[in-house]
């Protein structure tokens, strides 16, 4: 294993306001934030975009985004996986999509300190988390989705379950602020965390080619300490491409700015700040003049692909920048030490 990075501390600043303005310009009057202008919307990436708005101080726009989630939540606590201009284009109802509202709401609260916002959002957070937990298997994994008729697809994704683990952590933190006890959620979180750490055989949708399966168990905090650092080092050369970023899949010459940003968040979460800053320095120039960032780029031929400009990519870069620089109180939301000190 070679950790062949140039460990420079110099990180060029990014234009936080311009990146947020790009996201805000895509937001519809009803608060919805699609992937791109004229594109589809999914609830997970909608939340990610809202988090980017909160970081930049676009608080009204962020809260409009969360109100849109409240208004479109289904009776069972889920959301449709994909809509476009209000029309359902994917009627799957995914557990990690339903749960992720908790991460966004807690993130916004960390920035604003607004308890009334938490109280307003709590019913939706509660229903979204419960939707996911209701689909936990006896061994701890959480099935990934129901279809339109309510039939469970008994497959489990490591990345999706890691996202749910983070969501339950944030939901429990919200409950704590509001003085609400949820021992069943705590039990579900502990079982899920143990499964993520110890039972890779239960994740029967194998996506080990994807870098997210590598770093998400660490990003969410299920894998921590020495095990986290071993996991990072073990596959570093498989996914990290010096001067370019982080591959989406291990066998393609393609890095994406969202995976690169999330990996920076992961390194920052375990306080590997030097390596995190080095990788951030590779992505700062991979952007358009309007404040958006490339979705991905092939190497070494330097072809931008796809050319779609997505709000959630810009938001992921903003979150990485915040984690490295502490520009908001939410910079610590993925930090392992922060969560250890809460318990």
Regarding pTM above 0.85, the answer is yes
Cβ 65 vs Cβ 52: under 8 Å: no
DSSP state of 307: -
**pLDDT tens, residue by residue, 95-142:** 999 999 999 999 999 999 999 999 999 999 999 999 999 999 999 999
**CA–CA separation, 326 vs 105, rounded Å?**
19
> Assign residue 313 a region: left if phi > 0, alpha if psi is -120 to 50, beta otherwise?
alpha
**CA–CA separation, 331 vs 335, rounded Å?**
8
The H-or-E segment that residue 125 falls in is helix 115-133
**CA–CA separation, 36 vs 309, rounded Å?**
6
**pLDDT tens, residue by residue, 148-197:** 999 999 999 999 999 999 999 999 999 999 999 999 999 999 999 999 99
Q: 300 preceded by cis ω (within 30°)?
A: yes
Other Cβ atoms closer than 10 A to 293: 27
Residue 208: predicted pLDDT: 81
Whose CA is closest to 221, among 313, 139, 48, 342?
A: 342
> Which domains, from first to last, does the chain contain?
16-342 (1.50.10.20)
């Amino acid at each position: 294993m070679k950790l062949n990075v140039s460990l420079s501390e110099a990180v060029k600043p990014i234009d936080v306001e311009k990146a947020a303005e790009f996201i805000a310009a895509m937001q519809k009057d009803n608060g919805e934030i699609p992937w791109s202008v004229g594109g589809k919307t999914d609830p997970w990436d909608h939340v990610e975009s809202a988090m980017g708005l909160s970081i930049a101080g676009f608080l009204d726009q962020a809260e409009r985004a969360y109100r849109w989630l409240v208004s479109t939540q289904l009776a069972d606590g889920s959301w449709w996986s994909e809509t476009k201009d209000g029309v359902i284009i994917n009627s799957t109802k995914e557990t990690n999509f339903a749960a992720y509202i908790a991460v966004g709401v807690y993130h916004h609260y960390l920035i604003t300190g607004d308890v009334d916002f938490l109280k307003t959002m709590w019913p939706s957070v509660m229903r979204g988390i419960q939707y996911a937990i209701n689909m936990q298997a006896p061994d701890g994994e959480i099935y990934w989705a129901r279809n339109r008729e309510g039939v469970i697809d008994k497959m489990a994704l490591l990345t999706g379950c890691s996202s749910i683990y983070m969501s339950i952590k944030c939901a429990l933190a919200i409950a704590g602020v509001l003085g609400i006890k949820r021992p069943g959620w705590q039990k579900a979180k502990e079982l899920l965390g143990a499964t993520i750490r110890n039972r890779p055989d239960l994740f029967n949708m194998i996506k080990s080619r994807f870098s997210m399966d590598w770093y998400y168990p660490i990003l969410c905090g299920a894998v921590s300490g020495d095990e986290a650092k071993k996991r990072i080092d073990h596959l570093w050369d498989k996914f990290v491409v010096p001067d370019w970023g982080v591959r989406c899949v291990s066998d393609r010459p393609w890095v994406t700015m969202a995976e690169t940003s999330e990996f920076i968040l992961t390194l920052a979460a375990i306080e590997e700040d030097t390596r995190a800053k080095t990788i951030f320095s590779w992505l700062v120039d991979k952007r358009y003049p309007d404040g958006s960032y490339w979705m991905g780029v092939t190497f070494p031929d330097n072809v931008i692909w796809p050319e779609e400009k997505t709000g959630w990519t810009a938001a992921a870069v903003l979150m990485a920048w915040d984690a490295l620089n502490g520009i908001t109180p939410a910079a610590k939301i993925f930090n392992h030490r922060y969560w250890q000190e809460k318990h």
